[in-house]
Structure 1
Amino acid sequence: MNLSQKEWDLTQIIFLLMFITLLILACFWVIQPFILGFAWASMVVIATWPLMLRIQHWLWGRRSLAVIVMTLLLLLLFIIPVALLVSGLIDNSAPVVAWVTSGHLQLPELEWLKSIPLAGDKLYSGYHSLVAGGGGALMAKVQPYIGRTTGFFMAQAGHFGRFMMHLGVMLLFSILLYWRGEQVGQGIRHFAFRLASRRGDAAVLLAAQAIRAVALGVVVTALVQGVLGGIGLAISGIPYATLLTVLMILCCLVQLGPLLVLIPAIIWLYWSGDTTWGTVLLVWSCVVGTLDNVLRPMLIRMGADLPMILILSGVIGGLIAFGMIGLFIGPVVLAVSYRLVSVWMHESPAPEDDPDEVVEELSDEQEQLDADH
């Protein structure tokens, strides 16, 4: 019997697809507890890989010494500060939540309005008329929702043990990836090449560049602005400086900037009569608020030569869609798609015909078709 022509068995194909699908789902089920830690480790290692290679070169080419140094750097510059930051957030948030939910939240009197020349008395009386006409009732209605919102964020921040577990898994995977980074990277490139030839390989390399660009340009800039702004708040004597620093870093990550926190702090200092430190914080806020205009473009260009609007859109959209890990997923997806579409477009030459001639030619063709019908 001639067996050269293999007959396709539909039932066999269906069962084969079911088996492969169940196998993939089982694999994801097994590694589910480690996915987040591995994702963070991948982002950190990809972003800091050039630094690790430079340290290895300084340490006589010894990979083991470079891995030890990078592990210590992760502990000292990332894991320990983040853990202390979250712990401080939980500790400092408790009095704020208790005050907000206690029922003593009232609108301020704003006595300083009287000191404004010419219009001070009118502003003061108008403000108190607004409060008497419904401001107190509005605050009474809003207060329960404020309490629920702060309680929700406290509950999310309260999973400190799970957060520390993810940090520990991230550190472990980071060590393994630093140690065998070339082999892992080559394996991923091999899979991508088998899947989509040279374009698959290019997509993987571009994804690495996009991750490095986001890590350098967005996250580092947010950390620098948040930490510098927090130092200014602490020196100026603003209460709950740690809590405000965390809030400032989050605002910088979502591209709102640090001034959303610094400006109310400046107003509070002037309101309380501490004009000296208010002026100091005002000058410091001008420096911190404009720092991203210089630092972020420079760092993004170091990671990948991608349009700024693409990176920022990916950061904001990814954060909304996927949470904190979306800071990296969003820009990577947009960057890879942008480059692949760009390569596909440039495979054919750009049109050189005059636009008016093209429109006129299309109009003539349309008229000819209408006449034929």
Structure 2
Amino acid sequence: MPDKLKISSSHWVLIVALLATAFACYLLIRPYVNSIMMAFIISLLMFPIHEKMESKLPSYPNLASLLSCVILTFIIVIPLLFVFGAIVQQGSKFSQNVYQWVTHGGIQTVFNHPLVVKVLAITNQYLPFDEISPQQIAQKVGQFATTFGSNLVGISAKILGDATSFIMDFLLMLFVLFFLLRDHDKIIASLRHIIPLSRSQEDRLLQQIEQVSKSAVMGSFLTAIAQGFAGGIGMWLAGFPGLFWGTMMGFASFIPVVGTALVWIPATIYLFVTGDTGWAVFLGIWSVALVGSIDNLLRPLLMQGSAGMNTLLIFFSLLGGIQLFGLIGLIYGPLIFAITIVFFNMYEEEFQSFLNKQDNS
């Protein structure tokens, strides 16, 4: 057993002061924590590329880090600009088609469908609501369609504001990423020196943080891309704007439990009540068999390295992460769970003799 560390009163004053100033620093950087964390996680993903840059430019660490950031920018930003432009174009065209469909009696055709008539009759008979009138619903939809143009302007302004915020966060993330890549060895050495753990425990902790960060990013974002791609193809074959709705399905895949069903179920119902029964059946089967299987198979496969977490823990880490932190919680949730499991294993090893003695008592 190592000698016990003797902590004097002056040491306690120093520890308390350090914690207080560290908390004050956290308050200063709290608005930028997500950008810093994303820079940290992306630095783990980019480090193999950056090591090649460093090997070719050993005397120019600043240039190597700059080139790594430029490569990341081309990998992420340039494709996003093309995709965003196509999404805006398809979304605008789809909105115009919806407006034309509603104002030219399309909604009335839906309410005249025998299945819709039957569902409304059952609803009015058994549910304790006021009677649902198709005319009232059609009137509300018509009013929405009339004001859709002004609503679209407001939505566009919000999207523009979100895009501006995304660009600012991305630039801040690149700035932090530059220093993380350039000073990677110094940062790791400083952390090892400060953390009061053995070298083997530090190695395990850092390894799990790296592994879980990579698996969380791969598991969440690659699954979203795969589901958006497969869902977009299905929607395109069924006659919808494929890129627009594929992107919507990609975003919807981040929502636990319901996921892409938020998009393909209404689309399937629409096809069915408008008479495209064959395409409705196709889209339903395609979405359940292909898009749903991607989430059930690919996500657990990509996240299987999350510190030995089983599917139940991964599910609650994702669900709780989104609830607590928002979309970034898809990374924070598994990371918190994994670090907790690592510390629990360290505790079990450190107190193994005591725990065994307790089991035998």
TM-score, normalised with respect to structure 1: 0.67
Q: Hey, what does 1:78 align to over in structure 2?
A: 76
**Could you tell me how far apart the structure 1 residues matched to 2:117 and 2:327 are?**
47
Note if 1:349 corresponds to 2:356.
yes
- Residue 322 of structure 1 is aligned with which of 322, 325, 336? 325
How far the C-alpha of 1:13 sits from its partner, in A, is 4.2
Counterpart of 1:52 (choices 49, 53, 62) is 49
What's the CA shift string for 1:71-110, capped at 9, x where partnerless?
465334433344555666677379859x89xx98997653
Match of 1:25? 24
What secondary structure does 1:134 align onto?
coil
- 1:324 and 1:122 mapped to 2: Cα distance? 39
Q: Match for 2:228 among 214, 220, 226?
A: 226
Q: Given the superposition, is the C-alpha separation of residues 328 and 152 from structure 1 closer, same or farther in structure 2, using an over 3 Å criterion?
A: farther
Identify the residue that residue 253 of structure 1 maps to in structure 2. Answer: 254
SS of residue matched to 1:305: coil
Tell me the CA shift for residue 336 of structure 1. Answer: 1.0
Q: In the alignment, is the contact (CA less than 8 A) between 2:35 and 2:173 conserved in 1?
A: yes
Distance between the aligned counterparts of 1:180 and 1:201, measured in 2? 19
Quote how far apart the aligned CAs of 1:296 are. 1.8
State the match for 1:4 in structure 2: none
Aligned match of 1:62: 56
Q: Which residue is 2:4 aligned to?
A: none
- Taking structure 1 as reference, are residues 9 and 179 closer, same or farther at Cα in structure 2, changes over 3 Å only? closer
> Is the 1:320–1:326 contact (alpha carbons within 8 Å) kept by the matching residues of 2?
yes
Q: State the distance in 2 between where 1:121 and 1:211 align.
A: 47
> Higher mean Cα deviation, 65-74 or 225-234?
65-74
Q: Which runs of 5+ in 2 are unaligned?
A: 1-7
Q: Aligned AA for 1:166?
A: D
Output the amino acid matched with 1:46. Answer: L
**What is residue 110 of structure 1 aligned with on the other side?**
110
Query: Residue 303 of structure 2: SS of its match in structure 1?
Result: helix
Tell me which amino acid in the other structure corresponds to 2:255: V
Q: Paired residues, what number?
A: 331
Amino acid at match of 1:75: T
Report the CA distance between 1:309 and its aligned residue.
Answer: 2.0
Structure 1 position 317, deviation (Å): 0.8
**Closer, same or farther: CA 141–282 of 1 in aligned 2, 3 Å:** closer
Change (3 A) 1:225 1:76: farther
User: 1: CA distance between counterparts of 2:119 and 2:311?
Assistant: 45
Counterpart CA distance in 2 for 1:198 and 1:124 is 64
Q: CA deviation at 1:207?
A: 2.0
CA contact (8 A) 1:113 1:124 kept: no
Residue 306 of structure 2 contacts residue 338 of structure 2 at CA under 8 Å; is this kept in 1?
no
CA contact (8 A) 1:47 1:216 kept: no
TM-score, scaled to structure 2: 0.68
Does structure 2 retain, via aligned residues, the 8 Å contact 1:213–1:300?
Answer: yes
TM-superposed deviation, 1:303? 5.8
Indicate the residue corresponding to 1:262 in structure 2: 264
What CA deviation, in whole Å up to 9, does each residue of 1:3-43 have, x standing for no partner?
A: xxxx9589x949x95687357525752x5565332221112
C-alpha separation between the residues in 1 aligned to 2:22 and 2:109?
65
Determine the C-alpha separation between the residues in 2 that align with 1:121 and 1:235: 25
Distance 1:139 1:196 in 2: 69
Matches within 5 A, 1:23-172: 25=24, 29=28, 31=29, 34-49=32-47, 51-52=48-49, 56=52, 61-62=55-56, 71=69, 74-83=72-81, 92=91, 109-110=109-110, 113-114=113-114, 123=118, 126=121, 133-135=131-133, 157-159=159-161, 160-172=163-175
Cα deviation, residue 351, structure 1: 7.7
Fraction of identical pairs, as percent: 22
Match of 2:5 in 1: none
Superimposed CA distance per residue, residues 303-331 of structure 1 (whole angstroms, 9 cap, x where no aligned partner): 65332222221122111111222221111
**For the structure 1 residues 66 and 288, does the alpha-carbon distance in structure 2 shift closer, same or farther, using more than 3 Å as the test?**
farther
Q: Distance in 1 between matches of 2:304 and 2:333?
A: 18
Superimposed CA distance per residue, residues 219-249 of structure 1 (whole angstroms, 9 cap, x where no aligned partner): 211221123212332343314x555334322
Change (3 A) 1:84 1:38: farther
Task: State the distance in 2 between where 1:196 and 1:153 align.
Answer: 53
Question: RMSD value over aligned CA atoms?
Answer: 4.9
Gaps of 5+ in 1: 1-6, 115-119, 359-373
User: How far did 1:290 drift?
Assistant: 0.7
One-letter amino acid of the counterpart of residue 21, structure 1: A
In structure 2, the CA distance between the partners of 1:165 and 1:235, relative to structure 1 (3 Å rule), is: farther
The Cα of 1:47 is off from its aligned counterpart by 3.6
Deviation at 1:186, TM superposition (A): 3.2
**DSSP 3-state at the match of 1:333:** helix
Does structure 2 conserve the Cα–Cα contact (< 8 Å) formed by 1:112 and 1:271? no
Describe the SS at the equivalent of 2:240.
Answer: coil
